[in-house]
Chains A and B, each alone.
Chain A
Amino acid sequence: MNDRNGHSPLRAHEGAGEGAQAHEAPMFQGIQGGRPVAEGAGHQDRRRRSGKRGRGEQTMVPDAEFRSYYGRPVLKPPVWKHEIPAYLFTGGLAAGTAVVAAGADLTGRPALRRVSWLGSFAGLLASLWFLVSDLGRPERFHHMLRVVKPTSPMSVGTWILTAFGPGVGAAAVNELVPQRWRHTWPARLLNRLARPLGLSAAAIAPGVASYTAVLLSHTAVPGWNEVRDELPFVFTGSAAASGGGFGMVFAPVEENGPARAFAAVGAAQELVASRVMEHKMGLIREAYEHGHVARFGRGAEWLTIAGLAGTVLLAGRSRAGAAASGLALLAGSACQRFRVYEAGVETTKDPKYVVVPQRERLNARTP
């Protein structure tokens, strides 16, 4: 095996196999007749990379040699914690259930409407909790409302959520008003506003479901930025699957038809988009296909496939089948969000994900 510079290590090696003795003589062999180290080939910075330091794991991408500063990462890893992938899931859930709820409202499916508005509200509250608690200074969360900044997906998302929230809140609270208060004027007013407000929220729901993809892609993180074309479809498919899945879990079979359809289309879109995304990946594939990220990915795929199959075959017939399929879709959706998030984090920890593609790009431009 040649060393990194292509030189045979056996040249001028003082016999005796690998039992090089710890005394001076072997060191001087090199002066008589050994081949010089190639100029500029600093061992300290050249590295050959494969998934697990070359042991065991086969990767689909060939090893790439690159230089780095003592192997240190170039980028900073995200400061976010598990709250953010959790929010990706609950936000998508809130959006999906809002669409189902509005549709159920318009097509006379009261049970589906009720569970979906409550699910959307729970998702919204959980989302707000996750987002605010993940801040470095949570008490300053309202500073997000200081500016409207189209170059910042987080600013756009803040305003999308601000527009989305009241409608969901109104509709959900309307579902929760106790019977004995329903005749009071505030309750009757709310009841009249619930539908238009709910519909407005449902109209904004596509934004809630999709902006999170650009939130992640609009960064320097290779694992997120490189999949920017497919990620919106993965995330909206996932949101639809979870929104419909939620309805399948909690609504009776007689009313869950649209939830099933929505979930099935969403799950199918998520699976296809995810496959396309994986197919087009370059070096970041290694981050997506190793370790805990791969486990999340497999979980996402299998749970979604199982959920999709159940939705098509069982959920229209049996409540248990519907519930199981819905739960599978929800779990699969959550796994998908965590998988994408964690893959991105991994790509910031290893400099190769930054250096190799950029060096290739640069060399292609300036031969």
Chain B
Amino acid sequence: MHTLIASRFLDEYLVLRPGYVEGLRIPRPAHQQLHDAVRAGATVPPWLATAAYTTWGLDLAGRPVAGTVLVRDESPYPFGRASYELNLGCNYACEHCYLGLKTFAGLTWPDRERLLHIVREAGVLWLQLTGGEPLIDKLYAEVHTLAYELGMMIAISSNGSRLANPRFLDLLTTLRPYRIVVSVYGATAASYDSLTQRRGSFAKFCRGLDAACEAGLPIKLNIVATKHNAHELDAMRAMADQRSLAYLIYTNMSPTIYGGPESLPAQAGELLSRRRPFTGCNAGHSFFHVDPHGMASICKVGRDPQIPLMEEGVDGLARLGEIADRLLLRQGGCTGCTLSGTCGTCMPLAALYRKANAALNTYCQHRMPKEAV
């Protein structure tokens, strides 16, 4: 298996080590040199051997480029990142979940293989594997392994319940992901299990988190503060601090991907916060999302229209940019809004709030207190 990846990323060329945040930006001719070296059976050039030692402590001198550096072919497509929902199924039943119907369904392995090759062909270097809970998907290990072999930096979004499983620990320490983002749903069993509606889930989360930390995996936490656990916000922060883990806090609940309101009652009213002004988006341009059935969309929010990747292949992605431009235009009641310059809700998300008949103050500045606008 490769030690490094050399790849174009948008308008730059990079050398990366899977699972590490440090990287190298290289000139295009240097990338070409590596590409040629694979064909020629040459050894790692001195500039890379030196840089790899300095950056990652790797001794690559004298090693062949082939087998050491996975030099990715340049993609004619403009994408650099993508997310792939392996399966919407989950072992929890959180009220706030934006997925609504968490149906267990996904592509067969041959189709997933084809999908991952399409994603690679599109130029994706960073791939988020998500769900549902991706680690309960029966083909997770196969997907992870192939995405890694194809030269993608893997980010996993997980509830952490399976991280103590030796099979996963072995996989994740061998084929190291760039990041594992673990959601935090409470600081005590009482609140956590109440939110997930699964007895024992807090214990599983703690075991998984501690096992992953002990294994040195690159963990980051997403603290999800809802009405079920808002009183434990400081304690959840402390959990992260005690483990020296970076974290983000999310306090605004969203409608489901179908525009359903059932996730919104989980909102802790006192934690509803104003979003940063929306200043544009790369969704559909350098980022795309793929659902469990191989349907591509500009992102997880704006899922309509979708492109059937299994039918259209990578060429179908060329239409996403135009779709994104259309979806992001202010429309309906937002057309001509005088506050659009400071609005923090993108149009696809606003459309879901509207479909869910959500309270206006949860997504629109016109109903926020004046001092907050």
Do A and B actually bind? no
Q: CB within 8 Å of A: which residues of B?
A: none
Q: CB within 8 Å of B: which residues of A?
A: none
